């Protein structure tokens, strides 16, 4: 096959307020080349503030989520050019992972197959990750003589119990989706034939929540991991006050009205009707 043009390395569709974004190099098991990294940033930019997008899903075309960094185009070709090319490629990759981590919209990972090394960066950035039971996760770096850089070892150390993470990084043994869920690397795993239905179900629940409250909640959950208890307590007060001035007061007032006066919903059992918030 002739080389895929840059604009074709990522594909997406928007259906019913869900953006389904796909790594689109199935013939290369969706490994991340500099072209793909640049295109992914463009796609994230394009979707982030669209009114018709409420949730973003990241998955892979074909039988891979992503086979990590492209050993030919990301490593070999840039190393041949020198440090300027290496740094440029790193910034392009880390740039979109960071954008995804602090994305304005809720994000879901749908791990449909291979997920190696560099793919742990986006995995960590995504808010909720569902894997197929038979997906394959690996820190394969040790198998080809490097350490798991690009944040991959940090991701494993942060998400998995330490004894499991260090074993995973040192042994180069793969985990199934089921094991990845048991060890905290992903949120849950489901049979492959149920994967997109489960992701759709989660996306539909997220779409019903108040979007400002959802954004504040996900950012708080991520920021707090590096805070002391006292700092987190204070941050949460400030974050709620900031949320109040972004429509939070009106949302809470309406939700309280629906519960106490209208008696049309119970906060313990689901979300209020956000369509009724006074504009």
Rg (alpha carbons) of the chain, rounded to whole number: 20
68 or 248, CB closer to ligand ACO?
68
CB of 243 to ligand ACO, least distance (A): 37
Q: How far is the CB of 35 from ligand ACO (least distance, A)?
A: 13
Nearest to 165 by CA among 177, 176, 153: 153
Q: Which is nearer to ligand ACO, 70 or 210 (CB)?
A: 70
Q: Which is nearer to ligand ACO, 97 or 116 (CB)?
A: 116
Q: Which is nearer to ligand ACO, 105 or 168 (CB)?
A: 168
Q: How far is the CB of 65 from ligand ACO (least distance, A)?
A: 10
Start-to-end CA distance of the chain, whole Å, equals 53
Give the bridge partners for 58, in sequence order: 21, 109
Which residue's structure tokens are 């996306």?
203
The CA distance from 224 to 213, in Å, is: 16
Residue 199: both structure tokens together:
């992701």
Strands 107-111 and 128-132: parallel
CB nearer to ligand ACO: give 85 or 277. Answer: 85
Q: Residue 99 and residue 245: Cα distance in Å, rounded?
A: 24
Least Cβ distance, residue 21 to ligand ACO (angstroms): 19
**CA proximity to 187, closest of 117, 110, 116, 121:** 110
Question: Where on the chain is the footprint of ligand ACO (CB under 6 A)?
Answer: 28-29, 31, 67-72, 114, 116-118, 140-141, 150
- At its nearest, how many Å lie between ligand ACO and the CB of residue 108? 22
């Amino acid at each position: 096959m002739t080389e895929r043009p840059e604009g074709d390395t990522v594909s997406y569709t928007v259906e019913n307020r869900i953006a389904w974004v796909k790594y689109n190099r199935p013939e290369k098991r969706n490994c991340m080349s500099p072209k793909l990294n640049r295109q992914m940033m463009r796609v994230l930019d394009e979707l982030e503030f669209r009114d018709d997008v409420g949730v973003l899903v990241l998955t892979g075309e074909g039988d891979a989520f992503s086979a990590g960094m492209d050993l030919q185009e990301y490593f070999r070709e840039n190393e041949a050019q020198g440090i300027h090319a290496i740094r440029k490629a790193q910034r392009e990759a880390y740039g979109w992972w960071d954008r995804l981590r602090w994305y304005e919209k809720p994000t879901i990972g749908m791990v449909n197959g291979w997920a190696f090394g560099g793919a742990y960066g986006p995995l960590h950035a995504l808010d909720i990750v569902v894997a197929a039971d038979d997906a394959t996760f690996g820190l394969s770096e040790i198998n080809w003589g490097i350490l798991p850089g690009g944040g991959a070892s940090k991701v494993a150390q942060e998400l998995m119990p330490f004894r499991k993470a260090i074993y995973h990084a040192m042994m180069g043994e793969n985990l199934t989706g089921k094991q990845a869920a048991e060890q905290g690397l992903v949120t849950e795993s489901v049979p492959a034939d149920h994967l997109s239905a489960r992701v759709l179900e989660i996306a539909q629940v997220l779409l019903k929540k108040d979007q400002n409250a959802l954004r504040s909640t996900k950012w708080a959950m991520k920021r707090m991991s590096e805070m002391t208890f006292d700092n987190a307590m204070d941050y949460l007060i400030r974050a709620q006050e900031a949320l109040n001035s972004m429509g939070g007061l009106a949302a809470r007032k309406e939700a309280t009205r629906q519960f106490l006066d209208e008696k049309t919903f119970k906060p313990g059992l689901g979300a209020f009707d956000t369509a009724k918030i006074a504009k």
